[in-house]
Amino acid sequence: MGEMSKAGFPVPPGFCITTSAYRKIVSSDPAMDELLDGLNRLQMDQADDFGAKIRTRLESITMPDEIQAMPLA
């Protein structure tokens, strides 16, 4: 996203996090672990609904303090 923005492409506001930070965020919520475990049993006709559940859960997770304290670059 940063490279696209530097090149002059329109990029919506947002931010990126490291894989390590993502894993800490997801592991801080047991319900998210259960949802992600469900991916192994997912049928294709359930993908849209399941994806919506994951998105809703991700949006509701409070970011751990140590990640919030990381400097923005």
6, part of any domain: no
- Worst-scoring range by mean pLDDT, 7-11, 12-16, 29-33? 12-16
2, part of any domain: no
4, part of any domain: no
Q: Which domain holds residue 37?
A: 22-65
Q: Each residue of 29-67: pLDDT tens digit? A: 889 888 888 888 888 999 999 999 999 998 998 888 888
Among residues 65, 39, 63, the alpha carbon closest in space to that of 53 is found at 39
Alpha-carbon gap, residue 26 to 44, rounded angstroms? 23
Amino acid at 29: D
What is the pLDDT confidence band of residue 72, given thresholds at 50, 70 and 90?
low
pLDDT at residue 52 in the model: 94
Q: Does the pLDDT value for residue 73 go beyond 70?
A: no
Number of domains in the chain: 1
Alpha-carbon gap, residue 61 to 59, rounded angstroms? 6
